[in-house]
Amino acid sequence: MGFFKKYVGNKAFYREMLTVAFPIALQQLVSALVNLLDSAMIGRWGNATLGAGGSEITSAAIMIANRYFTTFDAIMIMTVISCTIFIAQFFGAKNKEKGKKTFGFALQLSIGFGLAAAIIGFVFREPIIYFFSTGVGSGAEMLHYGEQYLSIIALTFIPYSISVAISFCLRSTNKPKIPLLASGAAALTNFVFNYLFIYTFNMGVYGAGIATMISRLVELAILLWYYFKHKPFFFGSFKEIFAKEKGFKKEIILRGMPMAAAQVLTEAMAIFMFFAYAQIDSGNASNIAAVNMSSRVVDIVTAFVGGMGTAAAIMVGMRLGAGKIEEAKQNARWQIGYVVALSLITVLIMICLIPFVQLINNFQPETATLLAVIMIIHAVSLPFMFYSVNVIFITRSGGYTKAPFIITNLPYLFIKIPLVTLFVFIAPGLFENSTFLHQSLAVFGLPANLVIFIFLIDRLIEIVRAVIAYFVLHKAEWLGNLSGHKKEVELVTEVEPPLD
């Protein structure tokens, strides 16, 4: 099979893929833009209230609170995705009864996580914020504003947990436009009430949290209306969706456990990195704001290849459920080809966004410069990151649930975490006293800054992940069919030639 034919799909493939992926990508773009504007609006309020440097303090405070939200959110979503892999295949196999039960289990899991996250975040909001802000210098002010924001944002998990279950199950049954509509309405609501509460009523950070709660309730209302009005594939009565079936939940848990465990590890390591940045220069708000603002911009850029992971789960899963093994294999290769090509464009997009992001955030010159350098480093790493992430989605859809652990957790545990621990916690003076490291950064036009050096280590790991992902994609044998048509199938049966 020639390279072009193997990795470039036909019109029917791209039509189907865009039908699935585009609404999801648009939803991600809307959410990411709202998050970016949230930080900018809070930052400008911070400057007006606290004076010079207030933008960094208030922006960093809500980013710390959002780190808590993101951690539980990612784990909750991963548990739901472990269920939606089954739903996609049951949808392909037209097995409604099991689709209903799978949705019911997804709902139980997401609500359970949501309630736990709400209670822990609200009750322990002070130690959570203190853990990252250090309470020294600007960290003391971050502690105050972070607590305010987390006291509200933690409670948004309650309506959001139900929305997550419905949204991801709709996506898995080729209904991505409804979650897009709900998310879009929530984003607009959030923006309007943000402006009113932050500026008009001068409620600042607390007002931003209330605006988020209102937007989550709007999102849930739209999804519930659609669920009961239009009765999607997995719709059922309370008795139907929560009906017990021997061994059914156990199978999902056993298949989803590696994914959930890998996500827990990933989030634990993300928290570790956040903590590491917070320790440099005694929790300097500029460091926290710059590093996390770059991640906010990546969320926007991700939308340009966004939805591909979910599209992989749906398109590959549906074909496996229907027993179309060869078609599933070809779809997987075409999706990888699309992601690799488009991800190169995202590098330029992110670099072009630097002046815009600097403008709307109104950071101090030093922070703005740091942000620009970090965004450039982040941009260069994106193609490697997108490739490895989409390989995870594709292989996971084929039942190879160890992929997240092998591709993400292993290089983090054995390379990134030890290096960061050495330079930040064990020997913090090692970087400052190393002429070799300073000269190495200078070769690439980078300043001798510990934050930038740690961020560079963080991003270089994406190359390692991409190499591992390549071997996982081409070497692994996967258990593919979960719908009951066949016991075992192989999604990849031959060793593929190199991509070049």
| Within a domain: 468 | yes
| Within a domain: 486 | no
| Within a domain: 491 | no
| Within a domain: 497 | no
Rounded to a whole number of angstroms, the distance between the first and last alpha carbons of the chain is 13
| Within a domain: 494 | no
**Would you write out the chain's pLDDT as a tens digit for each of its 500 residues?**
566 667 776 787 777 777 777 777 777 777 777 777 777 788 888 887 877 767 778 888 888 888 888 888 888 888 888 788 788 778 878 888 888 999 999 999 999 999 999 999 999 998 988 887 755 555 567 788 889 999 999 999 999 999 999 998 998 888 888 988 998 899 889 989 999 999 899 898 999 999 999 999 999 999 999 999 999 999 988 888 988 877 677 777 777 677 778 878 888 888 899 888 878 876 567 787 888 788 878 877 776 665 666 666 667 766 766 667 777 777 777 888 888 888 888 898 899 989 988 888 878 888 888 989 999 999 999 999 989 988 888 887 766 778 888 999 999 999 999 999 999 999 988 998 999 999 999 998 888 889 999 999 999 999 999 999 999 888 866 555 555 544 433 333 333 333 33
* Number of domains, the chain: 1
Among the listed residues 32, 36, 40, the one whose alpha carbon sits nearest the alpha carbon of residue 58: 40
Query: Do 161 and 216 form a contact (C-beta atoms < 8 A)?
Result: no
Q: Which domain holds residue 94?
A: 3-475
Q: Characterize 274-291 residue by residue with b for buried, 16 or more Cβ atoms within 10 angstroms of its Cβ, and e for exposed.
A: bbbbbebeebbbbbbbbb
Q: What is the pLDDT of residue 405?
A: 87
| Within a domain: 496 | no
Query: Do 294 and 26 form a contact (C-beta atoms < 8 A)?
Result: no
129's CB contacts (< 8 A; 6+ apart) are: 61, 64, 65, 142, 143, 146, 147, 150
Query: Do 23 and 176 form a contact (C-beta atoms < 8 A)?
Result: yes
| Within a domain: 249 | yes
| Within a domain: 376 | yes
Query: From the CB of residue 11, how many other CB atoms can be counted at a distance below 10 Å?
Result: 7
The amino acid sitting at 382 is: L
CA distance 490 to 344: 31
